[in-house]
Amino acid sequence: MSLWRASLPPWLPTWTPIAGPALLAAGDALLINGAHLGADLGWSLLAAVVLLWRQRLPATVFLLTLPGMYLTYIWLAPMIALYTVAARRPARWLLAVTGLLMAAAQFVPYPASDLMLADRRETAVNLVDAFVVAATPIALGLLTRTRRELAARLDELTRTRAREDRLLADRVLATERARLAREMHDVVAHQVSLISLQAGAVQISTDDVQARDGARTIRELSVRTLDELRHMVGILRAAGADTEELTPQPRLSDLPRLIDLSALDVTFEDGSDPRAERSEAVERAAFRTVQEALTNVRKHAPGSKVVVRVAEDERSGLLVEIRNGPADAAVPAPELPGGGHGLVGLRERAQSLGGTLEATATGEGGFVVRARFPREER
């Protein structure tokens, strides 16, 4: 019933789908039989009244309208009833039976003894007319039902699309959170660990008690900040994986400045070709690999010698290698916390670009991080 009402113009009352057909059928009955009381008018009005229940009992209502059609030649009531059968009970056997009954009521006159089959041409015309009268409401009913099913499916597709849009929005939000987590780890952790290292150097080298206390406070705050950052990064990265990077971002040409500010004993071997065409994502990933490796050296191998090598590999493209030796026992460890997200993020970044990243211990007690980024086909 809601589908019927939903298709109505807003200016029509809600009872129109129920009472409207019955009123039309009653008008048809009065036009055919006149206002004189009698059996013919009674059958016709009965056919009109039972249309009020056509939505619940379509087949029964159709059978009750047939006597009025056969006895008094009314059309609207049985055709509306047959239309309802096709729209609400589209079983093939039911449509075949009801269609044949209506065609028979249209073809066979009342009384049946008046049926004349001698004139074949007239008989054929009457037979075709009877089947057309029966087929028309069935076709309209099936068309209406199909239209409503398509509307229902379209509505379902619309709701499904809305759900997909919400899921896509959630995915974009998760991706943004993961990108933010990576940038926080790459940038903030590197700078804070550098601050802690410098504060530790001041704490050891100065004789000023106040300066030494200030340096110790800076180191403690740095450690606390990195610990809180580690927890925050874990929460943000749990929301999804990143596919893009924030801007602006560093490139290979920024490596010398990064190494100069690292406060480490670093030897930089730059074998990259400045004329080589590389995407920003590859150069950014190479820079982040060196940055994270130097941060790990400060955390786990203070005082060690570091070799940073960037080279062009004919087979694999760009090669970035960071190798450090064992820690210097004379240099105190900064005791900076680590969340374990750095190397994982670097490996994900390299794989997303079609490359690889290896991080292994060396036989001399050091560590090596080696990343390869393939050339882009143009």
pLDDT, residue 4, reads: 47
Assessment of whether the complete model's pTM goes beyond 0.85: no
CA distances to 58, 164, 240, 327, 353 from 246, rounded to whole Å, are 65, 26, 16, 34, 16
CA distances to 33, 47, 102, 133, 229 from 112, rounded to whole Å, are 20, 21, 15, 19, 96
Nearby residues of 291 by Cβ (< 8 Å), 6 or more positions away:
186, 190, 258
SS3 307: strand
pLDDT, mean over the chain? 79
Whether residue 322 is predicted with pLDDT greater than 90 in this model: the reply is yes
Whether residue 241 is predicted with pLDDT greater than 80 in this model: the reply is no
**Average pLDDT of the segment spanning 188-204:** 74
Query: Per-residue b/e over 144-181, b at no fewer than 16 CB within 10 Å?
Result: bbeeeeeeeeeeeeeeeeeeeeeeeeeeeebbbbbbbb
Pick from 40-54, 191-205, 256-270, 337-351: least confident:
337-351
Pick from 34-48, 180-194, 311-325: least confident:
180-194
- Would the CA dihedral through 88, 93, 99, 105 be positive or negative? negative
pLDDT-derived band of residue 247, with 50, 70 and 90 as boundaries? very low
How many Å is the Cα radius of gyration of the chain?
43
Burial (CB count within 10 angstroms: exposed 0-12, middle 13-18, buried 19+), residue 75: middle
pLDDT, residue 246, reads: 44
Greatest C-alpha distance within the chain: 133
Whether residue 368 is predicted with pLDDT greater than 90 in this model: the reply is yes
